[in-house]
Amino acid sequence: DGTELPEIKEYIDGIQSKEKSELFGAAEGKNVIFISAESLQSFPINNEVNGEEITPFLNSLTKDDDTFYFENFYHQTMQGKTSDSEFLTANSLYPLSRGAVFFTHGQNEYHALPEMLNEEGYYTASFHANNKSFWNRDQMYESLGFDHFYGEEAYEVTKENSIGWGLKDKPFFEQSIKYLQTIEQPFYTKFITLTNHFPFELSEEDRSIEPYDSNSNTLNNYFPTVRYMDESIEQFFNQLKESGIYEDSIIVIMGDHYGISENHNKAMSSYLGKEEITPYDHIQLQRVPFFVHIPGSGKGKVMSEVAGQIDIKPTLLHLLGVDTTDDIYFGNDLFSDDRKGYVALRNGDYISDKYISTSGICYNRETGEPVVENAENEKPCAPIEEKVAQELGYSDDLIYGDLFRFVDFNKIK
């Protein structure tokens, strides 16, 4: 019956940013083009393989005047993979520790980003060239407030333009433009890429760089498919410019989750030139790129604060000038200075400005050295550990109890 809500709301009140950031409303009325980049981690960004750049286009965005690039941004997904990243992005709630919330709680009441933008007069759609019921998207998208889902049947998929999981990213973006040109503006659209998915298959003709050479074919083949995705995003930017959509839009790019699991640590350590991948390194490898590109803004820069997928909903809503004071969510506006200062991972590990807490060890985030406990420095990671456990618990309460049923957001407004 929602009796837990006041306590949860009080907690949330304590972590929300109180000040409006300087960028509040900076993209008011603009279209949003959100690209969910399959399995893209941060380590290939501004890095090389066989002496060649892996992501030349994304690298150029990290230096671009109109782009904010978050270099310490973490994915927070669990077993629900892409769907967990979608859940985090839409709701600023945590996914579940087991299973996929898209399947288990697809019929809950939510107060998601697409629904909120709907109320602001936005048309909302998701584009993904896969079976509509994969991850129970068809059902969950309705609960999240998407007006339309352009699934596999909206695309011309042939043997020639497919590989691995389906339609290749270049034809995917190319074929999406005609839909973008006809839907009502302003729109919020999400594009989910597919080619850079395990096991990272790519035909010779689509390969612009050579694989890496190690004992892991997964890691070896990851680099050419990451490059292919980078090229597909560059091509999409150009097509958006040609079709006149670009000027009135902001473009957001996010890596959905890791692509290279810890099973490939040996190959990964050789690529990174390290003796081994420590628990600290493993957490740092959970960084995924996050870009916010605002054409003509001129304010872009590299943002080094710790951030995560939980922060996307309030960040985007504030950019679009939507007030979220009475909303229920666990992230922060990444452009506000008043943030909680840590990113919680679903297993209770966390990254704060100062520490990384994982496997029961408290690391100094800057140096990667375990923090030495002494009389003045007793259990330095413990206070935030407790907050993280509490926060994950509240998020679970909201989902398991379907508590959004008991909140009348219209009344609050």
Judged by CB under 6 A, which stretch of 87-95, 126-134, 215-223, 224-232 contacts ligand GP9? 126-134
**Closest CB to Mn ion among residues 38, 206:** 38
Smallest gap from Cβ 198 to Mn ion, in A, equals: 9
Q: Applying CB under 5 A, does 256 fall inside the site for Mn ion?
A: yes
- Please indicate if the annotation marks 148 as binding a ligand: no
Q: Which helix (H) or strand (E) holds 149?
A: strand 148-150
Task: Tell me if 322 sits within 8 A of 331, measured CB to CB.
Answer: no
Contact residue for ligand GP9 among 67, 82, 221, 278 (CB under 6 A): 82
Alpha carbons 372 and 310: distance in angstroms, whole number: 30
How many other CB atoms sit within 10 Å of the CB of residue 43?
21
- Please indicate if the annotation marks 278 as binding a ligand: no
**Binding-site partner at residue 346 among Mn ion, ligand GP9, none, CB < 5 to 8 Å by type:** none
Phi, psi angles (nearest 5°) of residue 75: -75, 155
Alpha carbons 115 and 143: distance in angstroms, whole number: 9
DSSP state of 346: T
Q: How many residues bind Mn ion (CB under 5 A)?
A: 4
DSSP state of 250: E
Q: Applying CB under 6 A, does 130 fall inside the site for ligand GP9?
A: yes
Contact residue for ligand GP9 among 170, 197, 313, 340 (CB under 6 A): 197
* Cα–Cα–Cα angle for 109, 115, 120, rounded to 5 degrees: 145
- Please indicate if the annotation marks 257 as binding a ligand: yes
User: Distance of CA 180 to CAs 33, 175, 197, Å?
Assistant: 10, 10, 25
DSSP state of 363: E
Going by C-alpha positions, the residue among 77, 86, 74 that lies closest to residue 35 is: 86
Strands 187-192 and 123-127: parallel
- Please indicate if the annotation marks 197 as binding a ligand: yes
**Closest CB to ligand GP9 among residues 163, 192:** 192
| Cα-only R_g, the chain | 21
Alpha carbons 259 and 261: distance in angstroms, whole number: 6
Smallest gap from Cβ 291 to Mn ion, in A, equals: 17
How many other CB atoms sit within 10 Å of the CB of residue 325?
10
**Closest CB to ligand GP9 among residues 16, 221:** 221
> Catalytic residue at 62?
no
**Closest CB to ligand GP9 among residues 41, 336:** 41
Smallest gap from Cβ 307 to Mn ion, in A, equals: 19
For the segment 257-316, give every residue that binds ligand GP9 (CB under 6 A). Answer: none
- Please indicate if the annotation marks 84 as binding a ligand: no
Show the DSSP H helices in 273-413 as ranges: 279-284, 312-319, 382-400, 409-412
Looking at 55, 67, 77, 82, which residue is catalytic? Answer: 82
Q: Applying CB under 6 A, does 81 fall inside the site for ligand GP9?
A: yes
**Closest CB to Mn ion among residues 181, 261:** 261
Contact residue for Mn ion among 67, 76, 82, 315 (CB under 5 A): 82
Contact residue for ligand GP9 among 54, 192, 219, 316 (CB under 6 A): 192
Residue list, annotated binding site for Mn(2+): 38, 82, 256-257
Interacting residues toward Mn ion by CB under 5 A? 38, 81-82, 256
Interacting residues toward ligand GP9 by CB under 6 A? 81-82, 128, 130, 134, 192, 197
Catalytic positions: 82
